[in-house]
A and B are shown apart, each in its own frame.
Chain A
């Protein structure tokens, strides 16, 4: 399973990579600092579907291209992608407004509030 983690915080990226690898969920984890970087990687996946992730863990509050804008861009790209991708929101926001907004998006499969731990990540791995 290929996992893309999109988060501007280095500690979150490091923690997620550790948990995912340590608990045998995936050996193929890629980190991106913002939505834009992740998007250009997806665009490369149009030509070469082997690069596409199975799961995206997406932060909401990021510079350059935030989580919401990433979802908008993803919608435009989705029909060209040769593989179903599950997106999970991974945020420190506890706002109900954000949760509702995310649940209204057809690409979002789940909503996880930080702090992340192996239990939460394993639950994703099972449903993905």
Chain B
């Protein structure tokens, strides 16, 4: 302890040693080489931390492991100071002071070693610019998907607003008008007629609500159970269910599923797709010829399963109605059976599982619907 006290008391004393110039044989060149090099090193070691501090101020919140940065600043400063002390000894041989400076430098250096070792595992986790770019690309792709999905849902919502406005308001306004007329009317016969219409329109409203329920029932992709299905089997099942309709229309249904006989899909949706295509073709068949319907499966250029349904019916003028074919309660013919639900429901079901449906038609010649199943990843 006494030695330490003595050391600190005499820290700045230089009497006990000769100046280094007088120690051994120095030529001017050798001595100045030694001194100037040490001073140059100190100056550089002083400048480097200044640059680092300037950088740290500029990049305030973006520097990882800021504490290690500060340790490095200190480490370089103390290293530089040892070189200044070394030069100083040539004139002022305060070896105690020089020893203390070396001790401080040793302490700071080891602190830097420990600090660096500690942050190394985290530093290794830092992403390189190439990795970051990859991550950004991946996230952008996911965001794009999400944005597409939102656009789809928004479209659904808009079409639902239209549905509420047109399809639900319409029968209700009729009920209101009929009630008004009923109240104002005195003739009992006329009153009975209004009541009959009131009843009829109430049933229409109920039907519309039931149709809407079918549409709302279409679930999200991850809630729909899918299984491996044979197109032929499902079609036969549907044909069995509507055999009376087919017979009375004297319709001829043919198919070729050889290119792609099966699909992983929801059985209920596939049945509904077949059912809507077939009943639609029969309903809108041409009075001039027997209905002929041809169904075919295949694969598109992306390897996705396709289904087409071609008929020789009335056809739809797509220049006039192209944007309305798949909307709810849109009918294009004077045929009163058409309630305009089927294709809307079919489209909703297909799209909910990531597919799409398109139509080609020529008035007077016939219509062809084409379904591309699963063109996109399943909707979330």
A residues near B (Cβ < 8 Å) are: 9, 11-12, 14-15, 18-19, 22, 33-34, 61, 63-65, 69, 92-95, 114-117
Question: Contacts A11-B197, A64-B334 hold; do A115 and B177 have CB atoms under 8 A apart?
Answer: yes
Give the residue among B177, B178, B197, B332 with the most A Cβ atoms within 10 A. Answer: B177
Complex CA distance for A63 and B333, rounded to whole angstroms: 7
Complex CA distance for A117 and B178, rounded to whole angstroms: 10
> What number of A-B contacts does a CB cutoff of 8 Å give?
59
Closest residue on chain B to residue A14 by CB atoms: B197
Q: Is the CB of B174 within 8 A of A115?
A: yes
Question: Contacts A11-B178, A95-B162 hold; do A63 and B173 have CB atoms under 8 A apart?
Answer: no
Chain B 173-207 per-residue mask, 1 if CB under 8 angstroms from chain A, else 0: 11011101100100000000000010001000000
Task: Identify A63's interface contact among B177, B184, B334, CB under 8 A.
Answer: B334
Complex CA distance for A11 and B332, rounded to whole angstroms: 20
Q: Which secondary structure dominates chain B's binding surface?
A: helix
Complex CA distance for A92 and B170, rounded to whole angstroms: 5
Q: Is the CB of B201 within 8 A of A11?
A: yes
Q: Is the CB of A92 within 8 A of B173?
A: yes
Task: Identify B178's interface contact among A15, A22, A92, CB under 8 A.
Answer: A15
Give the residue among A19, A63, A93 with the most B Cβ atoms within 10 A. Answer: A63
At the interface, yes or no: B330 with Cβ under 8 Å from chain A?
yes
Contact residues in A for B180 (Cβ distance below 8 Å) = 115, 117
Closest Cβ of chain A to B202, distance in Å, is 11
Q: Is the CB of A115 within 8 A of B165?
A: no
Q: Is the CB of B165 within 8 A of A117?
A: no
Contact residues in B for A92 (Cβ distance below 8 Å) = 165-166, 169-170, 173
At the interface, yes or no: B208 with Cβ under 8 Å from chain A?
no
Closest Cβ of chain B to A18, distance in Å, is 6
Complex CA distance for A73 and B201, rounded to whole angstroms: 32
B residues near A (Cβ < 8 Å) are: 161-162, 165-166, 169-170, 172-174, 176-178, 180-181, 184, 197, 201, 320, 330-334
Question: Contacts A61-B166, A64-B334, A94-B169 hold; do A15 and B161 have CB atoms under 8 A apart?
Answer: no
Q: Is the CB of B165 within 8 A of A93?
A: yes
Closest residue on chain A to residue B168 by CB atoms: A92
Could you give 21 example pairs across A and B, Cβ below 8 Å? A9-B170, A9-B174, A11-B174, A15-B174, A18-B181, A34-B334, A64-B332, A69-B320, A92-B165, A93-B165, A93-B166, A93-B169, A94-B169, A114-B170, A114-B173, A114-B174, A114-B177, A115-B172, A115-B173, A115-B176, A116-B177
Closest Cβ of chain B to A119, distance in Å, is 10
Task: Identify B165's interface contact among A9, A15, A63, A95, CB under 8 A.
Answer: A95
Complex CA distance for A114 and B330, rounded to whole angstroms: 19
Complex CA distance for A18 and B172, rounded to whole angstroms: 19
Complex CA distance for A61 and B172, rounded to whole angstroms: 16
Contact residues in A for B169 (Cβ distance below 8 Å) = 92-94, 114
Q: Lowest 4 CB-CB distances: which A-B pairs, in order?
A: A114-B173, A115-B173, A115-B176, A92-B170
Contact residues in B for A65 (Cβ distance below 8 Å) = 320
Question: Contacts A11-B201, A63-B333 hold; do A94 and B177 have CB atoms under 8 A apart?
Answer: no
Q: Is the CB of A11 within 8 A of B166?
A: no
Complex CA distance for A12 and B162, rounded to whole angstroms: 20
Complex CA distance for A34 and B201, rounded to whole angstroms: 20
Closest Cβ of chain A to B42, distance in Å, is 78
Complex CA distance for A114 and B168, rounded to whole angstroms: 12
Complex CA distance for A93 and B173, rounded to whole angstroms: 11
Contact residues in A for B181 (Cβ distance below 8 Å) = 15, 18-19
Closest Cβ of chain A to B336, distance in Å, is 10
Q: Is the CB of B332 within 8 A of A63?
A: yes
Complex CA distance for A63 and B336, rounded to whole angstroms: 11
Q: Is the CB of B174 within 8 A of A63?
A: no
Complex CA distance for A95 and B162, rounded to whole angstroms: 8
Contact residues in B for A18 (Cβ distance below 8 Å) = 181
Please give 15 more A-B residue pairs, beta carbons under 8 A apart, in addition to A33-B334, A93-B169, A95-B165: A11-B174, A11-B177, A11-B178, A14-B197, A15-B174, A19-B181, A34-B334, A61-B166, A65-B320, A92-B173, A93-B165, A94-B165, A114-B170, A115-B172, A115-B177
